[in-house]
Amino acid sequence: MVNALIYKPLPAFSVHTVVFKSRDTAMPSPESSLLQSWHTNADAWIEAIRSGAIESRQQVTDQAILLAIMGRQPQRVLDLGCGEGWLLRALADRGIEAVGVDGDARLIEAARLAGAARVHVASYEALVDGKVDIGRDYNLVCANFSLLHQDIIPLLAAMNALLVPTGVVVIQTLHPWSVAAGDYQDGWREESFAGFKGQWQPMPWYFRTLSSWLNALDMAGFQLAGLQEPQHPQSPVPQSLLMVAERR
């Protein structure tokens, strides 16, 4: 029997979530607070990623998304919400042309300084509105723990339009079952980053059920081609949900 104490599960950022309570119209929307939190947390995030502080990434999820992407043998990949660019570097090391886009300028600068040649600063809203040219004819678009907002269908549809006809999207996200915390319904939650070193601004993020993920892919013109639940052999819970979907 697996002893849960041997391997302490720690999903992509943290399991500590509370229901997002703000209903005050004077408050910023969760979407704007979400991106704002990355502006505030950029330096702490870069440190967390580059020091290998997130155990689940080191042990499970980084390899899972890399394998899922490599399995498709893409020539050109767009990394949506690329952050400080670790996946861009890993793909470039494997001879893949990788382009990154993220809404935080500090993270994109860090990606560029670490060697990512093709990176763009753009919010998801700007991508949906077609306001920024980030290239097209990608074989694959990946999003590694970067689809955190509510209205993901227009963004996925915009990504669909940037793919070649045989293109695929690869999404790795928090596993809904692992992070539901007894409340299995779509809705805003808050990530406190408790347990992480340094100062962090809490981040609103949108919890979605498995069927909500699959419906969103369908509505954006994708059909599911593969679903994985990457897990550490000594962990009782999946560390992520990983979906591969083809353009319809």
Task: Write out the residues near ligand SAM by the rule CB under 6 A.
Answer: 13, 34-35, 38, 49, 81-83, 86-87, 102-104, 107, 123-124, 144-146, 148-149
* Least distance CB 6 / ligand SAM (angstroms): 26
* Least distance CB 8 / ligand SAM (angstroms): 20
Q: Which is nearer to ligand SAM, 82 or 245 (CB)?
A: 82
CB-based contacts of 241, cutoff 8 Å, min separation 6: 172, 173, 174, 175, 176, 210, 213, 227, 228, 229
* Least distance CB 5 / ligand SAM (angstroms): 27
Q: Which is nearer to ligand SAM, 69 or 82 (CB)?
A: 82
* Least distance CB 90 / ligand SAM (angstroms): 10
φ, ψ of residue 170 in degrees (nearest 5): -120, 120
User: Which residue shows structure tokens 């753009």?
Assistant: 122
Q: Which is nearer to ligand SAM, 29 or 215 (CB)?
A: 29
| Exposure class string for 42-74: b at 16+ Cβ within 10 A, else e | bebbbebbeeebbbbbebbbbebbbebbeebeb
Taking CB atoms, the residue at the shortest distance from ligand SAM is 103
* Least distance CB 146 / ligand SAM (angstroms): 4
* Least distance CB 149 / ligand SAM (angstroms): 6
| Alpha helices (runs of H) in the chain, residue ranges in sequence order | 30-50, 55-56, 62-70, 86-93, 105-113, 124-128, 152-160, 176-179, 210-219
- Checking 53-56 for CB contacts under 8 A at 24+ apart, the result is 53/196, 53/197, 54/10, 54/12, 54/13, 55/8, 55/10, 56/9, 56/10, 56/11, 56/12, 56/232, 56/239, 56/240
Q: Which is nearer to ligand SAM, 107 or 134 (CB)?
A: 107
Q: Which is nearer to ligand SAM, 82 or 99 (CB)?
A: 82
Q: Which is nearer to ligand SAM, 98 or 163 (CB)?
A: 98
Q: Which is nearer to ligand SAM, 81 or 176 (CB)?
A: 81
* Least distance CB 104 / ligand SAM (angstroms): 4
Q: What is the SS3 string spanning 179-217? A: HCCCCCCCEEEEECCCCCCCCCCCEEEEECCHHHHHHHH
